[in-house]
Structure 1
């Protein structure tokens, strides 16, 4: 009887923990993609509010500041779109470091900007100039994943064999500008990076297709890492060999760093005002993060991950 009571207690605690994690992910997305944030356009006061929100959580988790000014790494973003005249806007990456006194570091990233009210370009709705584009999937979902992984690795009572660098990139929508700036001005040596994991649009899982994991071919070590995963215990996924592809991992890939890019694919609300928080699948979002945790933990068996160029031969 005591064993049954203990088992029931463990199951209840597990369910409660899972429900709390889902609610926390929802809180992150609803905050970042609220109408009050006006689409988090680069240079706006609202994107600065988003940066402050991320900094608050990095500090809460005990991450060390690893920008150039505390958690912040400032840079200038140039907007070159037909809709607006050329303009220079202030932007920043938010960077936190988990120091496990290790030689090598895993970088985990997601961009936190979006396209504002459609005035900086990139909207897919020709009638939406001046209308808020909330960017719940793109990329409040990825930031929620970033914050959850930061929470997990700082609070799991384990000293992992790798350090972690958590980066919320600015100005991704203007051409990966935040990640490009970081790799040109790194706050840790690029040669010490184990691999880089990027999350961009992980909130709208198509359960039949699964989540795309791009970058599988950028290190020969990724094959045994993924082969150890029990697919029956995770959301469906499929791998893409190439390292490049429309988001911030590309900036690391071109510096000969192995990368993985998690992405649930395009949808009708992409870069439209209708990309709202109520359309995010929070249970699947949590499932994708659990898959990422296992990938990261499986990578610990390799002291060094070798880079492999996946560009097609010319």
Structure 2
């Protein structure tokens, strides 16, 4: 934590505490981000649709506000790429990258995908074409989490022993395209990545289920780290798997330890009804607090030992 000078006087204590509290995960900020990204204005943030391009620009703007350096190609925040999907060829998309340079040997990657189904034109009739799929939980919630963690580590902490690379992935809904491209064209060498934390659908907390934390088996040190992870408000359980249907999978396949935060499926999954008014922002803030505990615990180790999982 960033240290603030307190010279004994009680009057100086309260402002320092309040200043620090400002950068903890905040439900109001989370809700505000999701309200914008999952609004009809962005029309579902479809890959190669205007709403998806606007969403990427929004993330870039937030990275700039937070003081993150451009982590993309040619000194900008974008990593552009194209991919094929079934009959659709040369579909353009982009990752958005913000870098916190702590002049460290290794880097922690924190990611979430910003795309959703849009109006479903690229899904070959699998979803109702023409209807807006706003994707509040999937994955505006993850982008809100990404920005909260970026704020926390840029504003609330002293210089950490690791760099941070924050990535908003494009093309995830069409086959993890953004993360696949990144690991094959990495902005930093993958052997210099401490671990990757991925957030996908963290906005619909079910207290009877709890939040699932995948990747528990991908590093020998995770069990030791998790001994100190706790919450009075959020129930969680761990899953050893490194593989899965979200962007952490791409990193696991390159022998990078991963952590995956996910609140589980629901009836609005990939439907036009996944709207912002159903977000559980207060609970998401609690989930992000757990994420911070995991990250801080992992920074106590100079390196993590990758392990394959069954």
- The TM-score, its normalising length taken from structure 2, stands at 0.91
Q: Contact between 2:23 and 2:151, CA under 8 Å: does it hold in 1?
A: no
Secondary structure at the aligned position of 2:122 is classed as coil
Q: CA deviation at 1:267?
A: 0.3
Secondary structure at the aligned position of 2:245 is classed as coil
What's the counterpart of residue 249 of structure 1? Answer: 248
The CA distance in 1 between the partners of 2:288 and 2:24, in whole Å, is: 14
Matches within 5 A, 1:1-314: 13=18, 17=22, 21-69=26-74, 70-80=76-86, 85-121=87-123, 128-229=128-229, 231-311=230-310
The CA distance in 2 between the partners of 1:148 and 1:18, in whole Å, is: 8
Secondary structure at the aligned position of 1:75 is classed as strand
Q: CA deviation at 1:77?
A: 2.7
What is the aligned-residue RMSD (CA, Å)?
2.4
Q: CA deviation at 1:42?
A: 0.5
The CA distance in 2 between the partners of 1:52 and 1:193, in whole Å, is: 26
Aligned length: 301
Q: CA deviation at 1:235?
A: 1.1
Q: Contact between 2:20 and 2:156, CA under 8 Å: does it hold in 1?
A: no
Distance 1:237 1:56, change over 3 A: same
- The TM-score, its normalising length taken from structure 1, stands at 0.90
Q: CA deviation at 1:118?
A: 2.0
Q: Contact between 1:176 and 1:248, CA under 8 Å: does it hold in 2?
A: yes
Distance 1:94 1:208, change over 3 A: same
Secondary structure at the aligned position of 2:27 is classed as helix
The CA distance in 2 between the partners of 1:202 and 1:122, in whole Å, is: 27
Q: Contact between 1:234 and 1:290, CA under 8 Å: does it hold in 2?
A: no
Q: Contact between 2:106 and 2:162, CA under 8 Å: does it hold in 1?
A: yes
CA offsets 1:173-210 (integer angstroms, 9 cap, x no match): 01000000000000101000000000000000101111
Could you list the runs of 4 or more consecutive aligned residues of structure 1 that deviate by over 6 angstroms after TM superposition? none
**Residue segments in structure 1 that go unaligned for 5+ positions in a row:** none
Q: CA deviation at 1:266?
A: 0.4
Distance 1:232 1:259, change over 3 A: closer
